[in-house]
Amino acid sequence: MSNASSKGPALPNEVNLTEDKTIFPGEPKKSKTPKDRGWRPLPAVLWTLFLYIAPQVAAASILVFILSALGWSSERATDWLQNAVSAQFYYILVAELLTLSGIYWLLRTHRKTWKHLGLISLRLADVWKAVQGFGAYVVVYIVVASVVGALIPSLDVEQEQQIGFEAARSGIDLLLVFSGLVMLAPLAEEIVFRGYLFTSLRSKFSFLYATLITSTLFGAAHLQFGSGEPLLWIAAIDTAVLSGVMCYMREKTGSLWPAIFIHAMKNMVAFSYLFLFK
């Protein structure tokens, strides 16, 4: 991603920051239909929260039901779900499939296509934009983390995110971890946050407001609520900065692919550090 000049980031001619009805580059023209409630800002925020939380709860319930149907005891099922790498992969897989099913239902209900979320034809330039965007994210995060750390000395910048897969050691286990963290999670989360949510907010709000709301929610989603661990504020700051960069790429290119690749590169770095080199 090229660095923004003092006049702010250059945006494509097709995008007007002050207009309500934004059409991203490469996005099909919007059809006039009364069934657009789910794409208005407040419903979009509520649907995003639902699509982020509900599939996780449902995925665990589905796996428990399947294991019970197979005759597993509750102790055996609990041990497998909590400690087996394969169980954690299946959990992510089921949760992401449920999330994408929810997005598909929204698209069908409101007579839209995947192109409205930025899933247009992949271009070679999208890969290069992702590389630039990832570099910009690293620089911005270092600056932001340094400033916040200086202003809030009590902030634990070394606290690690609990991502599971602690038992991953062998080749097949590492392949499952890679598939879950580097491939499945970035795809589903980008479709929900920078695809559905940001696009919905951008149809009514300026780029700045749409980015702030999207990034705040995305950061809050990584605070580790319910994990039993202290709230992970450094991860919230990290992912909020990451989201800001990815929203910019979604706005500038009209495509969701650069954001997906940036997210995947970010998770690839974490995967390499936690499972390959640590």
pLDDT band, residue 133 (cuts 50/70/90): very high
Position 27 pLDDT exceeds 70: no
31 or 158, which is more confident: 158
Contacts of 42 (CB under 8 A, 6+ apart): none
- Contact indicator for 197, 118 with CB cutoff of 8 Å: no
pLDDT over 70, % of the chain: 85
pLDDT band, residue 203 (cuts 50/70/90): very high
Position 164 pLDDT exceeds 80: no
Position 239 pLDDT exceeds 70: yes
pTM: 0.85
Position 168 pLDDT exceeds 90: no
Distances 111 to 38, 43, 51, 119, 191 between C-alpha atoms, Å: 11, 16, 19, 16, 17
Q: How far apart are the first and last CA of the chain?
A: 29
pLDDT band, residue 7 (cuts 50/70/90): very low
Position 19 pLDDT exceeds 80: no
Backbone angles phi, psi at 5, to 5 degrees: -80, 180
Distances 17 to 11, 126, 213 between C-alpha atoms, Å: 9, 22, 16
Position 12 pLDDT exceeds 50: no
pLDDT band, residue 245 (cuts 50/70/90): very high
**Residues counted in the chain:** 278
Position 112 pLDDT exceeds 60: yes
220 or 3, which is more confident: 220
pLDDT tens digits along 69-109: 999 998 999 899 888 999 999 999 999 999 999 999 999 99
pLDDT band, residue 266 (cuts 50/70/90): very high
Burial of 11 (0-12, 13-18, 19+ CB in 10 A): middle
- Contact indicator for 140, 241 with CB cutoff of 8 Å: yes
